[in-house]
Structures are given as structure tokens and as C-alpha cells.
Structure 1
Amino acid sequence: MAKELSSRINPAEYEKSIYKFWLDKKLFHADEYSKKPAYSIVIPPPNVTGSLHMGHALDETIQDILARFKRMKGYEVLWMPGTDHAGIATQNVVEKIIASEGKTRYDLGREAFIERVWQQKKESGGTIISQLKALGSSCDWDRERFTMDEGLSRAVREVFYTLYKEDLIYRSNYMVNWCARCHTALSDIEVEFTEKDDFLYHLKYPIENSSEYLEIATTRPETYLGDTAVAVHPDDERYKHLVGKNVILPLINRKIPVIADNFVETEFGTGCVKITPAHDQNDFAAGIRHNLEKIVCIDENNKICGNFYKEFEGMDILTARKAVIEKFKELDLVVKIEPLKHNVGCCYRCNSVIEPRVSMQWFVKTKPLAEKAIEAVKTGKIKLIPKQWENTFFEWMNNIRDWCISRQIWWGHRIPAWHCADCSHTTVAKTDPDKCENCGSINIHQDEDVLDTWFSSSLWPFSTMGYPEKTDLLKKFYPTSTLVTGFDILFFWVARMMMMGIKFMDDVPFKDVYLHALVRDEKGQKMSKSKGNVIDPLIMIDKYGADAFRFTLAIFAAQGRDIKMNVDRVEGYRNFINKIWNASRFILMNLGDEISKIDENNLESVDKWILMKLQHTAKKASKAIDAYSINEAANELYQFFWMTFCDWYLELIKDRMFKGSEKEKEYALATAANVLEKSLIALHPYIPFVTEHIFQTLTNKETIMFEEYPDNLNYNFEKEEKGIDKVIEAVSLIRNIRGEYNISPATQLEIYINTDDSDALKLFQAEMLLIMKMGKAKSIKFNEKAPENCAKSVGNGFEIMVSLEGTINVEEEIARLEKEKKAVLKDVNLYGGKLQNEGYLAKAPAKVIEKDKKTYEEAKARLDKINEALDGLKK
């Protein structure tokens, strides 16, 4: 061969050079004019200033597997890459940097601050892209996009303008989720709920001109400053006589009505609810229904405002809460205070507690857009995988609220709306206007807010391909074929892409949505820096190579199941990469100048057997990848290469290679090399670097990337396959006996095979030498009476007996087995007893019970084997 593999594998020696070769040859570039069928994926754009984490690594690995697989299946593949400007996250990063310099964004001013963010993007924006390349991502990097590049910004303006003109975007004073830390409104799905320890405060609200009072239970007593009513359920007999009367708010002496409303839950707290329309989502809706005043008592910095009670003015929320309770205690208006665990809304970016507040914001009317997205999923135009996500999707979409798309930050697409100071008209335009479209005044100013990051990313499947122009790229690759993303952004991003794609392209944005699970630590906990359980993908790649890391992620990526990741698993699959390397090196060392074609006339049974196994494996893997069963395909390929090809086939042909004639060696190596070549092709989507490197060395071809996936092999050697399977079964039983009785590997065994199956007998006789070699036997006798002291094992239609005479010390072996039996019996009795204890079964967690069952079954199976071995020895 022109090249050989080094004696030890070192991914660092070839991974970077191979990736550079792929880039230099533009092998990832998609041709929109190709006559091949199209297959396209858009990458979920990572934050431009971010770095690769385990979620990205899993996401990109799955996408790369699909992209490489489809290239081998004859598709023209576009994997569109890019990054997201990530408004809040990126602004937070830059604000922290300037804070370290003793400044705020307001010190810099809007224009200078935006310049600073662009500078940060220039300095760190390429980090995550280079990390994706280290992972092996075969994106079309010539087409890399950014959500704030010129083309995508134009698409954003076009979409905003169109929706506004169709009355699907409006501006209104409305209740929003407010983050005082990020100083912006958030949409509902940007609020993450966290369980927190809190208190439920039971307070007295006195009835006007009466000795009665209503007992209010609240977690937020400080908001009583903005109360404008108290609500009870209309059917609650306890309070019917009070509806229509007034209560007097303590300290501030505001008179507010007692109203009846169905939203009150009679069973929660006291059945009386204070209504603060300016600071609670439900209260805001109730305020609209009952025409209540919206009194703001907490400002945008989460400070008490409004001149209600001078002592509270300017306090932060928690300080005010304590102060209010103290004043209520002084007036003997506190009934009780109870500890409470409840879910509190927090900002998804900074984890600050969210404060609902009324604010002037921009909204998208989502109901009309959601209806068509729901229909697309119901009719199967869009498939959610796993299918179980459909119910969650329908529930959320059917109850969708208008989408708040304005953010009070500076980094992002500034809202293309200009307000007139003279006539108060708002002009929305595709290009910056110089005067008011209503009155012609030049005294106009652009809206200060920017668009929600998810607004621009919702256009990603078509904006990246040239929209609003009708490009050839859109014509070829839209709608995209598959979207791969985490289930946690099904509503952040996926649902919004559906709505926008159907609206503006009159077609779904993708056909399949594969929602993968999360990568957690080995205990199943979410990875976080605070817990110290984060595994850095780049460290894994540097230490074990990208292929081992990718394969680990893939083989554990079962649909709907979180991946429990630890370093040992990556190291384990590094051993698999080593196995591929060593097996390839073994074949290359013995191969001539080129791989001979397989001559079916000169194949032996084992050759036909391995070709059939290859054929089955490739077809199963192909089918599994198409069904997004990424882990199943990985496992099929792993089992075939390591166990079937290396552990069995290469061992089975060694006599022909080293003791046979030149022709026998040539035929054996031809089969081995051809199977190796096809195996590398089948494995390439999972482990692209090592397969490319070995393939080029083995074949002298330029690249493996466009080789035909070997799922269309058409061998017809079923008889030989079944025969060698039976031979392997026999050898495995012999090896099991050797292991069970601690027989030395050097001991040559006397074997007896009995069978009533004439075909099996002929097979075993024909393959006797093979069985003797693999089973390390000095003799095999068929259908003869075996001597005393034999170990027996039963196969499918035959039995194997191994004479123990002279192979072991029977008394010592009996003593060893009896000792092991005692230890195993302890487990059988312990776990068997637990599983029969009804009290234990009622209290123990399901996972613990399942683990106990597994331990019991394993111990019981081991006990049966020990008893069987002892029976054989004591005869």
C-alpha cells in the first residue's frame, strides 16, 4: 500500500488536517442547481458570543450524522450554519465587561454601546463556529449567516411591515413579564418556574362601616398598595352578603369594592383574592372584566413607587414586604403566616424573579398564525418526533397568548416604527422614513425598543436562504427536510418557525422535527457550573478525539430519554475507535498493493457469513437513521464491527492468512478488506475523522464522503450464515464451560457433540477443524457416549459436553463453587425477600424497585449456573 497506519492511534495527528482537506475541497458545499434530490437542515443558531456545551454537541452530532448519511444516500445536502445575536444574553455579556470598567451602557450611550457589542462579536463571535468545526460538523460554511447580517435584517423588516399592515402586530399598554435585572419585558415562554420556599400571609382587610373583615391569603403583601378590588367566587356562600360592599385598605385608606368572579378558587387560601391589576396576570384580566383602575406601585427597577405611603417609597420588593407585614402587625391585621413551597417565575437568562407589570409593548396576534401550525401537525405535514410531543404542542398552541415581541434593550433589530411628535401617528416602513406618513412632519423619532431575538430566529429556515427574494436556494431547499433541536425550545423557536414559515412561504418550514432529550450528569442531574458537574465537550475532544466523543453521544441518544454522561463512557468508546484502528492496521499490514474484488466462487462459509452479517447490519442501521433511532443504528454498527467482524471473523480467517496457500490468503484478505471498506462507509456519519483517514489509506480514493451507503448489498448466503451462526453458538458454549469451571486457556479439551438433527451433524463435521481451533479442543466426537465428570451445555438442537477429567482439580473446583454459591444466595434471599415485602414495595421508589428486581434476577441466574456446574462435578 502507498500508506500505512501508525502503530498507535492519535486523533490529534489527523483530525485537523482532515477537516482542512474537507474545507479546501468544499465538500460540504450544497449546489442549488444540482439534479440530486434535496435534503436540508438549518442549524439551531447558537449564541454568537457563546461557547460549545453538551447540548450543542448532541444537537450538532445528530445533525451531522443525518447530513453525512444523506450525502451517501445520493442527496444534495444543505446544512445551513449560522449564529444568533442573542439580544439579552449578548447585551448582558457586554454590560458585565463595561461594568468591570466602572461604566454602564447609559454612560456610553446607545450608539457607542452598539459599536462595543459589534466589537465583542468580532472578537469572540467565531469561537463557537471553530468549536463546531472541531466536532466535525459538515455545515456549508460558505453560507454562514448571522441574525443581524444585512440580508436577515431585511427579512425582519419585511415580515414586521407585512404583519403590521395586516393588523397582526399592534402596540398596547398591556401586562408583561418584567425582568428588572435585564431591564426588559419577556415573553411567557422566557419565564422559567423554579420552586422556592416562601410564606403565605393571611391578612385582614376591614369591611367599610362594619366590624367584619375579609381574610386575604397572599404571597406578595407589598402589592396591596396597588389593590383595586377584592374578589370572591359568586357561588361562595361565605361571602355572598359582602359582594358589592367596600373594604378599606389599611394604612393608605383606599376604598375598594368586593367583586364576584369565577376565576377565584374557593379551596385555595381563604377563598378571597386581592386584585392588583397592574401587577398580576390574572388580576389584569379581572381588572379588564370589571373595569378596575390599574395602579402601579412597583417601578421598572422593582422599587416601591406611587406616593402611597412615604415610609415605603423607594424600598425594594423584599424590604417593602417585611415593612408592610410589620405595619399590619402593629394594627393587629395579621391572622397568621404559613410556610409555603410554590413555583416562582424567573428570567430564563439571569434567573432574577420576574415582576408582572403593565407596560407599553409591541405584540403579535398569534391565534390566526397558530391555527395553521396546529393543522400542519394534525395532518402530518409536520411530524414531531417522538410523537408524544404532539399533545404538549397542541395544548400550548390552543391556549397561546399574544406574543410580546418588544424588548427594552439596545442590542437587536430596532423596531421599524417611527412616532410623530406632532400628530402621534406611528409610521411603520420597510426603509427608514424622513417624515410622518400621516401629517408630513419631520419631527419623528424611531421606537426605542428592539425586537425579541426569537422574532428574527423564527424566520431562520427561509431568511437564511434569501427571503424576501425568490432565490434558487429557496426553490431547491425550502421547505427544509429536518429540524433537530432540544425539546426545551419547542415553543421558544420551533412553534414560531412553523407560524412564520406557513405565513410567509405558504408552506411548512420543515417536514420532520426531531426533539432530542437533555444531556445530564451520570446521576441524571442537570449540568451546571454551580454544581460542578459540567463536562466540557472541548476537553473530551482534546483528550479522546472527536470521533469517540460523538459516538458516545450518539449511542446514548435514545428517543425521549435523557443522556447520562460521564467521562468513563467516552473513554470506553475511545476503545472502540482504537479497535477500528487496530483491525484496519492488521488488514493493511497483510494486504497487497490493492484490494481484490470478491470472487463469490472462491468464498468459504465464514466469508459468506460475514458478508451476510454486513448486509443485515447496514440495512438495519440505514433504516434506524431514517427513523431517527440514532442510538439503535450506532449500536448495530458497534456490535457488528467489534464482536462480529473483529472478535469472530478476523479470528476465523487467521489460519488461512498465515497457514493457507497464497490463494487462500488472497481470498480471505479480499473479503476482510471489502468488509472493512463497507464498514468504514457505514460508520462514517458517526465517526467521520477516523473513517476518512483509514478509508483514504485503504483505498487511495480522495474521500469517503460521497461513497454509496452499503444498505443495498444483495448477497444470498442464508444457508452459510445459519451454519456459521450454529458453529459460533457451539464455540460460545465451549468457551462458557471453560469460564464456568476455571479451565486454563492453554488446556486442550475433549469435546462431545450430540444432536438428532442430521443437517446440524453434517455441519459440525464439516466445520470440525474450525470448532477445534476456536474452542481449543484436541478432539471432537459426535453422538458418542461421554465419560463421567463432564460439563454439559445445551444449544439450539444440540448439546455440548466437555470432559473435565485431567482439566481441573474437581475437589478444589467444588469448594470454589460452594463458596461462591453462599455469596450469591445472600443476594437471592435479600432481594427476593424485599420484593415479597408488600410494605417495602408500597414505599420504595419505582426506580429502586426496578434496580432490586434486576439484581435479584442476575443473582438467581448466577445461582442456577453454579448449581448446574456443581451437579456436573458431583456425578
Structure 2
Amino acid sequence: MDKTFQPADIESRWYSHWESSGYFAPQGGEAPYSIMIPPPNVTGSLHMGHGFQEAIMDALIRYHRMAGDDTLWQVGTDHAGIATQMVVERQLQAEATDRHELGRDAFIERVWQWKAESGGNITRQLRRLGSSLDWSRERFTMDDGFSAAVQDVFIRLYREGLIYRGQRLVNWDPALHTAISDLEVVAEEEQGHLWHFRYPLSDGSGHVSVATTRPETMLGDSAIAVNPDDPRFAHLVGQRVRLPLSDRDVPVIADDYVDPEFGTGCVKITPAHDFNDYAMGQRHDLELINILNADASISEAAPEPYRGMDRFTAREQIIADMDRLGLLEKVEAHALKVPRGDRSGVVIEPWLTRQWYVDARKLAGPAIAAVENGDIRFVPKQWENTYFAWMRDIQDWCISRQLWWGHRIPAWYDAGGNIYVGQSEDAVREAHKLPAETLLHRDEDVLDTWFSSALWTFGTLGWPEETPELAKFHPTSVLVTGFDIIFFWVARMIMMTLHLREEVPFHEVYVHGLVRDAEGQKMSKSKGNVLDPIDLIDGIDLESLVSKRTAGMMQPQLAKSIEHATRKHYPDGIDAYGTDALRFTFYSLASTGRDIKFDIGRIEGYRNFCNKIWNAARYVLMNTEGEDCGQSGEAPVELHLVDRWIQGRLQETTAEVHRAIGNYRFDLAAQALYDFIWNEYCDWYLELSKPVLRDPQASAAALRGTRQTLIRVLETWLRLLHPFMPFITEEIWQAVAPLAAVSGPSIMLQPLPQADDDRVDKAANAEIEWLKSVILGVRTIRGEMGVGPGVKVPLLLRNGTAQDRQRLDDNAAFLTQMARLERIEWLSGEPPAAATSVVGELELLVPLAGLIDVDAELARLDRETGKLSEEITRLEKKLANAGFTEKAPAAVVDKERGKLDQHRQTLEKLARQRASLAGA
């Protein structure tokens, strides 16, 4: 092994070896275990959420592979209709052309060309994360076989009456000219206005005042609504109002939805341009007036002066016209959630259009029952409530998109508007006996990518063919996903799989949280807090990081903002930490909470953990290579107390890890491994092994026992750690395995360690814990009194039990070396001036004479106490100031409170030290 751990040198080498050797494919085993990767967008690159999710899945796959299961981690990517089309359209724009000039077929060919050249970026990144996906089975949602399955499902559901075409309200992107899903709408708070307008009563008896944030929509108003329990407006219900600018009368209606506290308590209702208004319009049979075109300009349904205007130009004109008519009552500043397309950035409009829908209500019943009866289990369980809430109030699912890239809808229309659904135009003509002179036009739309990905768990395994893989690996074992797509993907997979396969798609759903920055803020480019996991693995200098973050930005001002934020947060760029350190950081954060605060300080700590592991392995190899480690079984082996202790702790740690993985508590598994490897094996066992190995009186059997324990325990915990840190464990295991008499081509194909309670020596555990307590007691005294590690100190003991005396006799050599003692004595008379510590009934005393200058130490402690008291007073005043605690971000306030608590604890510690010294 090299002197230092260099992750970049070993990661690419081992991953290439694993993949080329076919180790990621199912190896055979007693029970199948399968996970389907949530297919990332083919256009994309990994973000921290991806990195976290892939790390979780890879740990599960490696764990179950080593546990003897026949594992399949199915890999694939999603065609990402909107995102991919936008990428290629930007390329065409740079070439001074567009898709319409190319034509549909040529455009689709251009997309496939882009996919072949650039679409593999995310799969390269998955490899950098160490993801042991079965690349031999890689799928793409636009593959021929998968596309055929998608088409078959559409046709089947249409014939069953579960798919229909209808006119309803959708999220409409005026820039992309397509319907989009709720997940593709980003609603963030922006500062706007609330305009108060007067609508005259039709009988001339007065007016009602309404408030709106979108004045342009008044051109499509169908009613004015009030709350039925609002006494202010009870007399108006049933009357009619003259709609300004439109020369129409609309009714005043009563509906429980109206909030009497919002605006004036009177609400304008525009059913064709607001989802809540649409629902109210359905309840009250109101007219649907669509006053917008596809590009969000004002349509022919609006009054003449505004037709053809951009929606926001029309807004300004309407405000001016209402003011001129004396109908603008007032304008208020108002913060509101503005829905914007996550791809285009433009304001999304609720728009009335004809689309294809799935009758989701009919599919929801069995999907709800599958979770209720335990066929599918959510982890954590509380996410079942979110699932049920959505599913029990489910609306029909819009599955059509006005794009060219995607699965084209297999529907044709004749001149009379009749719909024919089938595999092809020829199939349609034959099925419906249509003559050749009947002209048919194919639907221009494609299917929502969520429709095709709903078939992912079985479509990737060869369905509709009943393949051996489908029979073996479906239903899959677990779905690992974020809570934000429980409805968009998880629920739809459950509905579609139950309907098409009459079985669940997976048995468990592990719902992980979202990765946020160290302050709990959502990661976004504009904030400059976005982290690319590959940058953390390989490192990146500041200029490259800035260039990468601002590349392709369409808005110069946003690019400038991102550059400023990046330079502020990462003035020195980002260090290279390696894959193993990043992965272990993810596991340490993977609790059952919703949010995951990622702090670079933690990954630095786990890079140090990698270095600790590397150095520990080198120490073991230096003390075992070329030595008799008792692996032949022929020579006697004598296990020392410390050997029995560490072997027992290994068994307990193994059980803890298995228990944690079974409960999807990766944070607890990571903590158990970290505590055992760093604290117990490296810091205690390796140090306790030195007196044995260096003891000239030690027998050959004892030396064999310690060497054997060193190498076997190391080899075992390397296997236990492998699912979490695959690269460093493989590299070290290759050097360690022969010494441990273990053979095999790779650690990833070795059996997972199993706990053996019979090997837990409780007496050894108790004795070592006693020894550790005594050593730590002496070290605490040394630290508090400022005695350097190079200075040996005397240790005086008094009180204690007979067992304490026996343990001291048995472990004096360990205690002398580990605590850096000059001598150990039992006191019989009055103790000298000394610092003390207590272990049970045993009192530890370290005489101070000759070790420190008591007066100088007292003066130093007084100075430290004074400084600390001043800082505590400052923090107390700051936190008592309501102006700070109420206005500052919660994370900042919490940080200051944490400082105060820490300072108070330190002050108490200094007081104890001073009292001890003063008494001496």
C-alpha cells in the first residue's frame, strides 16, 4: 500500500475492473433483490439530490449482493421531453434556424444525434459515484421496446375507457406552448400588487368592490362570489353586476370557498383562468371564457381594444382604462406566489385547452388499498398520510404535451373530428374499415414523461413479454425516492402496475429528504449554494467553478449574480474529497427527517476518516506481513483480553449495522461503523496491541493471537464497510485478504459479515471499559492542567474495590503506556496536592508538584474566565434583543444560542479547574 491515500488513483481503476468483470449483473442467489433506478433526465447532470439518492441505492444493492441475494439494480434514463427539446432547440437557434424549419422528422433525428453525442453525461457521473448498476441492461424510455410498451398501454387504457380527450384547465407554458405538470411549476414569493376595482350593479343601485392580482383576467369574468355567511353581502346574492370594459352582466353567487378576509370579501370568478375558479364554475355552471391565446396574448374572445396584446401590456392598459372610468379604487403592495415554468422561467397560465386525460379516480382505489393492507410499506410511515391525502382527492391526469420529442400519441382524426386509436394508421383503417379516400391526421402531441415512467418497474424487464427477468425481479424490492414525487411518480407507478400487472411495483418505498445547504436553505444557482457531487469528489478551482455555474445562462444579470455568490461562498474553489468520503457523508445525514443539511465541514471529517482507515491498514500490514498470524490452524493461538474485547465489539457492531439497514437508518449504520473503526479499533485496539507485540515476555501463541485478531478483524470490518465506502475497502482488502486466509476476486463478491453473539466476551468488555475509563481520567487531568503528552506523570490510587486492584494488576502495562505514566502507587495515607478524577469507587490522583506552576496556571485561568464572561454577557444581550431574534434568520439565531451554551459550559469547566488548582 502507498504511504498516503489517493482516492483518484484507485476509484477509476477499480470501477473499470468491476464493470468489465460483470460483477454488477445478477450473480445468482437464494432470493431476488431488485431496485429500479429513478431514471434521471438524459439531458441532466447529477446534483446533490441525485448523489444522495444513488448512494443510498448503491449501499442497499452492495449490502444485499454480499448478503447472498440475487441482486439487480436496473439502470436507465428518461427522455425528458421538455428539457431535451429545449436543449436541441437552443442549438438550432444558435444556427439561425428552428424545429419548424427542419420539420418534425428531421428534428427528431437531430435529437437522437444529440443523445448519441452528449446524452451519456449522467451515466458517466453515476460511475464516478461508484454506483454498481447493471450496465448490460441499460434502458432508455425512448428505446424501441419500451416505446412499444408505452403505446400498447395507451391503446389498452383508451379501449377500456380509462383514457379520454377533453377540455379542461391545465398549467400552460406560454413560452414553450405546452401543458406542463405541477412538478414543472416553481411558485416562489414575489412582490406584486392588489388592485381594487369597482364593478357597478346592473340595476344602477351601487357597486361592489373586488380585489385582484391579475387585472387582465377580468375580461373573462363569469361571476362575482361572496361567502354565504358574510352578512355584508347577503343582499347581493342573486343580483347581477355589469362587468366593466366587457359590456356583459355576470351574477353574484355565494360559495364557501370565498375567504371573507381576502381583499374586499368579494371575489371575481374567471373559470377559464384559475384552478379554484374553474372548480367553482363547475359547481355553479358558469360560462368558460378563454381570453388568452397559446402565447398568452389576448384572444378574440376578449373585447376589441385588447385583442392581440401581450397579457402584461393588456394589464397595464386595463388598469389605465379602469382608472379613467373612475373604477380604480386603490392599489396595494401585495406579496404573492407567482408560478413560473422551471424550464422557461415565464409566468405559467391556467389555460383552457383540449388534452388527453387518464381517469385516475378509477385507478386510485386499488392503489390506496395496496398501502392500506400492507402490500406496500412507506418508510418513514408518515408519508403514507401524504399518499392517502393525494390519492383520495385525485384529479384526472393530463398526459398530453404539445412537444415533438417523446412518445407520440397513437391517435388519428378524420375531417369530422372522430378519434381513432391504434398501433398505426393502417391498423386503424383496417379495424374501422375506413376507405382510402378518408383522410386521417395523426395527433401532434406526445405523452407526458410521467406516463412512460409509470411503467418503469416492469417495462424495463421486457414487458409485455413475460421474460425470465420479469418473473424473477418483479415486484421490485424497494423504491428509493424523494417525497416531492410521491404523487407524480410513486402513486402513478402503483396505479398503472396494479392495473396492468395485477401486482404491486415494489414492496417498500423509502422516502428520503431533500439536500439543503448547511443553513437549511434550498440549493439554487441564484443563491450560489449549489454543489455538484462530482466537484466534491474531484475538486474544482474557483475560476472553473464560476465558469461551470454560469455556462449557458440566458440572462446576463443572473449569470453575474451567480458568479458573485460563487466567489463569496467558495473563494478557494472546492477541495477533492473522493467518492468514499462524499458517500459516507450522505449516509451520516440519512436520518428519517425531511431536510438534509449538507455541510462541507462534514465531508472534510470523513476524508480524515478515510485517511485514518488507510493508516490503520498500513499499521496492521506492517505488523502481520511475513509474520505467523496463526492462519494455518496448526499452531496454538492465545487470545489476549484486548483481542477478545475487539472481537466481541465487532460482533455487536455487525448486529447494529444489520439492524440499522433493515430499518433504513443509514445514519445509525454509518455512526456504528465510524465509532467502531475510528474510536475502538484504531484509537484503542491498535494502541492496546502495541504492548502485546512489543512485550519480550509474550509467548508465540499470544503474538499469533494478536496478529490474527489484527488482520481478521480488519478484513471483517472492511467487508461490513464496503457497501458504504466501496473503493477504499476494495483497495485495502486486496492486500489484507491473503493474510486473513480469504480468497476471492473482489470484496464486493465476499459474504457479508454476520453477528455471532457467542463471540461477545462480556467480561472482557467490562474490563476494557474500566481500563479506558482510567486512561481517559488521567488524560482529562493532563488536558485540564496543561500537562503535555511528552511528560510522564505519577498516578496515585485510593479507595477502589478488590476488582479494581485485580484489574490494575492485569492491565498495568497497558495503563502505563496509554496514559504516559511514570509510576502507579496505591495510597495508604493522606494524599498530596493533586488533581483528581473518579472511576466508580476508584479515585485517581495526579500530584501537581513539579508538573505545573500553579500560580501561573491560576492567572491564566482567570484571564480566560474574564474573556469568556464578557462574551457571554454580549451574547445574552444580543439574544434578549427582540429586534434580533425576530428579524434574523432562524438558523442565525440558533447559531448564536449554540455559542452561548458552549461558552457557559466552558466557563463551568474553567471554574472546576480553578477550584481544583486552588485546593492544591
- Shorter-chain TM-score range: over 0.9
SS at match of 2:507: strand
Distance in 1 separating the partners of 2:494 and 2:584: 31
The aligned counterpart of 2:443 is: 447
Distance in 2 separating the partners of 1:838 and 1:346: 36
The aligned counterpart of 1:539 is: 535
* Amino acid of the structure 2 residue aligned with 1:124: S
The aligned counterpart of 1:112 is: 106
- Cα drift, residue 73 of structure 1: 1.3
The aligned counterpart of 2:853 is: 809
Q: Report whether the alignment pairs 1:674 with 2:712.
A: yes
Identity of aligned residues (%): 46
Q: 1:553 aligns with which of 553, 562, 586?
A: 586
844-853 or 172-181, which deviates more = 844-853
Alpha-carbon displacement from aligned partner over 1:675-723 (angstroms, at most 9, x marks no partner): 1101111110111011011101111431111222223234131101110
Maintained 8 Å contact 1:789/1:872:
no
- Cα drift, residue 842 of structure 1: 8.6
SS at match of 2:39: coil
Alpha-carbon displacement from aligned partner over 1:64-96 (angstroms, at most 9, x marks no partner): 011101111111111111000011111111111
* Amino acid of the structure 2 residue aligned with 1:465: L
- Cα drift, residue 189 of structure 1: 4.1
SS at match of 2:643: helix
Q: CA RMSD, aligned part only?
A: 2.3
* Amino acid of the structure 2 residue aligned with 1:159: V
The aligned counterpart of 1:706 is: 749
The aligned counterpart of 1:654 is: 690
Distance in 2 separating the partners of 1:86 and 1:860: 54
Q: 1:483 aligns with which of 472, 479, 487?
A: 479
Equivalences for 1:375-454 in 2 at 5 Å? Answer: 375-421=369-415, 423-436=416-429, 437-438=431-432, 440-442=434-436, 443-454=439-450
The aligned counterpart of 1:596 is: 630
The aligned counterpart of 2:778 is: 734
* Amino acid of the structure 2 residue aligned with 1:587: V
**How many residues matched?**
868
Distance in 1 separating the partners of 2:328 and 2:503: 59
Distance in 1 separating the partners of 2:320 and 2:880: 56
Maintained 8 Å contact 1:551/1:687:
yes
- Cα drift, residue 789 of structure 1: 1.5
Distance in 1 separating the partners of 2:601 and 2:99: 45
Q: Structure 1 stretches of 5 or more lacking a match? A: none
Relative distance call for 1:505 and 1:777 in structure 2 (3 A) is: same
Q: 1:55 aligns with which of 49, 56, 61?
A: 49
Distance in 2 separating the partners of 1:258 and 1:112: 54
Alpha-carbon displacement from aligned partner over 1:169-222 (angstroms, at most 9, x marks no partner): 110011111111221112344433221211111111112241411212111111
Relative distance call for 1:843 and 1:528 in structure 2 (3 A) is: closer
Q: Structure 2 stretches of 5 or more lacking a match? A: 539-575
Relative distance call for 1:755 and 1:821 in structure 2 (3 A) is: same
The aligned counterpart of 2:665 is: 629
Distance in 1 separating the partners of 2:237 and 2:882: 53
Q: 1:609 aligns with which of 627, 642, 645?
A: 645
Maintained 8 Å contact 2:647/2:760:
no
The aligned counterpart of 1:39 is: 33
Maintained 8 Å contact 1:233/1:264:
yes
Distance in 1 separating the partners of 2:822 and 2:43: 68
Distance in 2 separating the partners of 1:103 and 1:730: 79
Q: 1:795 aligns with which of 839, 845, 860?
A: 839
Distance in 2 separating the partners of 1:18 and 1:831: 52
Looking at both structures, which has the greater relative contact order when contacts are Cα pairs under 8 Å and sequence separation is at least 6? 1
Relative distance call for 1:429 and 1:63 in structure 2 (3 A) is: same
Distance in 2 separating the partners of 1:347 and 1:498: 27
Q: 1:350 aligns with which of 336, 341, 344?
A: 344
Q: 2:469 aligns with which of 452, 469, 473?
A: 473
Alpha-carbon displacement from aligned partner over 1:755-784 (angstroms, at most 9, x marks no partner): 432222211221112111111111112353
Distance in 2 separating the partners of 1:434 and 1:848: 66
Relative distance call for 1:549 and 1:838 in structure 2 (3 A) is: closer
Maintained 8 Å contact 2:650/2:713:
yes
Q: 1:290 aligns with which of 284, 299, 308?
A: 284
664-673 or 196-205, which deviates more = 664-673
Distance in 1 separating the partners of 2:830 and 2:895: 42
SS at match of 1:141: strand
* Amino acid of the structure 1 residue aligned with 2:421: V
Alpha-carbon displacement from aligned partner over 1:480-539 (angstroms, at most 9, x marks no partner): 111111222122211111111221221211111111112222222222222222222112
467-476 or 591-600, which deviates more = 591-600
* Amino acid of the structure 2 residue aligned with 1:584: A
After TM superposition, the score normalised by the length of structure 1 is 0.95
Q: Report whether the alignment pairs 1:821 with 2:821.
A: no
- Cα drift, residue 295 of structure 1: 2.0
Relative distance call for 1:862 and 1:234 in structure 2 (3 A) is: closer
- Cα drift, residue 593 of structure 1: 4.5
Equivalences for 1:303-382 in 2 at 5 Å? Answer: 303-306=297-300, 308-382=302-376
Maintained 8 Å contact 1:734/1:800:
yes
Equivalences for 1:190-339 in 2 at 5 Å? Answer: 190-306=184-300, 308-339=302-333
- Cα drift, residue 596 of structure 1: 3.4
- Cα drift, residue 837 of structure 1: 9.1
Distance in 1 separating the partners of 2:906 and 2:313: 65
Maintained 8 Å contact 1:278/1:284:
yes
Maintained 8 Å contact 2:421/2:428:
no
Maintained 8 Å contact 1:828/1:860:
yes
Maintained 8 Å contact 1:752/1:800:
yes
The aligned counterpart of 2:803 is: 759
* Amino acid of the structure 1 residue aligned with 2:220: G
SS at match of 2:770: helix
Maintained 8 Å contact 2:660/2:669:
yes
After TM superposition, the score normalised by the length of structure 2 is 0.90
Maintained 8 Å contact 2:461/2:470:
yes
Alpha-carbon displacement from aligned partner over 1:351-386 (angstroms, at most 9, x marks no partner): 321111111100011112222222222222222222
- Cα drift, residue 843 of structure 1: 8.7
Q: Report whether the alignment pairs 1:686 with 2:724.
A: yes
SS at match of 2:747: coil
* Amino acid of the structure 1 residue aligned with 2:726: P
